[in-house]
Chains A and B, each alone.
Chain A
Amino acid sequence: MNKYDENWEQQINALLDGELGKADADDLKTAATDDRDLARAIVEAYQLQQVMDDIPVERAPASLGKRLRAIPREQRRTAGPWLFQPRWVTALAVVPLAIIALNLMQPDTPSEGEIAKARQELAIAFAYLDKAGAMTGRGIESTVGDTMSDAITGSVNRAIKLQNETYKEKEV
């Protein structure tokens, strides 16, 4: 078939399939009369088709067909309700996790009781700071006397206050 272009091959196939028009079939026959290779190609293709047609087709036993057709129905039965199918179980498990994640991302808003407790704790912390201040004042007082004590503690407070005011100005 090397000598022939694809057109001949298509025509041979169409001839065997009974799809070739009468005019084209006559042309092909005329060409095959003059061309032995083409004639042999047509005969070989015809013989191949005969062989293929002679191969017996085994049909599946009726019981096997029945069983195969039953598989989709059985699958639906064993899967249980749609809610328990794996994809829905996974989807439902994601819901609480998403709620927890969203909850954690929200700023934790304390209750009024918690804020009141924090307020009290802050006051305790400040009271201890105040106590430390009083103790340092007393310590300085016992060492250098009352007037100097006021001057020293006052200057410390002023120094820290000045730092804070500078910070406040920067903020403004």
Chain B
Amino acid sequence: MAIMRLGYVHARVTDLEASRSHYSDTLGMEVKAEGDGKLYLKGWDEYDHHSVVLEEGGVGAVKFGFKVSHAADLEQYERALQQFGVTVERMSKGDNLATGDGVRFISPTNHVFELYHEMEYAGTETGILNPQTFPRHLRGVGVPRLDHTLITGDDVEGMERLFTECFDWHISERVIASPEEPTCLASFLSAGHKAHDLAVLKGPDSKLHHFAFILDDWNAVLRAGDLFAMDDVPVDIGPTRHGITRGTTIYFFDPSGNRNEVFAGSYTSCHDFPTITWTADQLGRAVFYHARELNDRFLSVFT
């Protein structure tokens, strides 16, 4: 029984055509389906039908989907969530395009999460029989896959409890106010072997900080930065490196102001690793390791 990964992010955008250009031409995702005011996209190294859904009207996150490893997991997670005490409901096959039935719940931070086991198989251009290492004619950044998301809410500790108790996740890193005042300001939650699959920052409920795409390495991050310059993509910060997760990064905004990230590096995390703790007086270094100070947007701009 396990949650394998963040399978999809469903976000609102103010202009679907401008978003198509950003996610498809600049980031290089493939549009797999469209209609009804929505675009469904996937990265080149994703086997499932889509990982990003863009819906015209508004900004911010609609919901997040996590894919579980076995069909029977859904029922067990449903029970665990009911026992935990959050609002849970069943979703049916077809509620989401190309996606099977599953369990929907509202988190303590008032975000909508969906657990599912089945999504239509799309495959990749390189295939699964003696494949080449990447498709030759990628567009733009050519993001391989969706990696993680950071959301904001007041009850960070509640999110830690839910994801560790209901899903057996571990906490790789967390930020506290100080050793004397251990209020949790941010938490980095891992489903398996990544430093984070979901992170939660103390802030307004229901908001999106960013969703991130993994890249191979630092060189790929720098190349993405060049492409953002060519395409006039507003950059929040970077290229730089995080103390937290040790990842290299650029944060940037989509044409509706939703923040995206390209991310590389980081480390392998395991369930038995102790949680790394950062204190607020070191937050500059924790967040932007090189500059060691925050900019005025990173912890205050959300959609």
Physical interaction between A and B: no
Q: Which residues of A contact B (CB under 8 A)?
A: none
